[in-house]
Amino acid sequence: MAAVVTMVHDLAAYERAAQMCHLTGTQLEAALFGPAPALFGHVVVDEAEEAEPLGFALWFLNFSSWRGRHGVYLEDLYVRPEARGTGAGHALLAELAGTCVERGYPRLEWSVLDWNTPAQDFYRRAGAVAMADWTVWRLAGDALSGDALPGAALPGAADRRPAAAGTLEPPNEASRTRAADDDGGAGSG
């Protein structure tokens, strides 16, 4: 676990964001092996040596509402500089692609920094394509608080009643029965 945490910090330094990386072994262990793990990981090792891992991949499930299917989001893929060019990165990516195929997930996605051309070249060689029409957006820190999203700040919001958001719940038995009896509006004639 310590080797992966070290490599995460190495990756953050490479991405010019070392000061933003606060991951601890306890956090990573809880995310991977806690009561309801939502993060998954792989390491690549040199089978000829019993040394530290050469690299790692951390990933989680995402969901395509258009396809109605889960996919894999690759949070981090990192190979130690001295192990690059050995096939370690390819082995990690192939393992993740295999997971997608085995589980019927239609896609594997990730983000790459605009300036990280070595990574972009690696992914292109593997057959990946950049999603040029999409831009990553994020709410973080203070922007996640309720004060950061005041309804009154929205144009015309003063004229509308605030919406309430909640968690989707599984359908109860009555709604399942109604859905089974419903023909979807097509009419049975």
Banded pLDDT at 41 (limits 50, 70, 90): very high
Asked if the model's pLDDT at residue 149 lies above 70, the reply is no
Is 55 strand, coil or helix?
Answer: strand
Angle at 125 between CA 123 and CA 128, to 5 degrees: 45
Whether this prediction's pTM lies above 0.75 is answered by yes
Tell me how far apart the alpha carbons of residues 125 and 107 are, in angstroms, rounded to a whole number. Answer: 17
57 phi, psi to nearest 5 deg: -135, 130
Which position has the higher pLDDT, 70 or 146? 70
Which candidate, 53, 56, 1, 40, places its Cα nearest to that of 24?
Answer: 1
Q: Two tokens at 2?
A: 């310590």
Which candidate, 62, 90, 91, places its Cα nearest to that of 74?
Answer: 62
Distance of CA 140 to the CA centre of its chain: 16
Query: What's the pLDDT score for residue 163?
Result: 63
Q: CATH classification of 2-154, choosing from 3.30.1330.60, 3.40.630.30, 3.40.50.1220, 3.40.50.1370?
A: 3.40.630.30
Asked if the model's pLDDT at residue 165 lies above 80, the reply is no
Whose tokens are 């790459």? That residue is 112
Q: Give the mean pLDDT of the chain.
A: 87
- Mean pLDDT of the 135-160 span: 69
Q: Which amino acid is at 70?
A: H
- Return the domain boundaries, the chain: 2-154
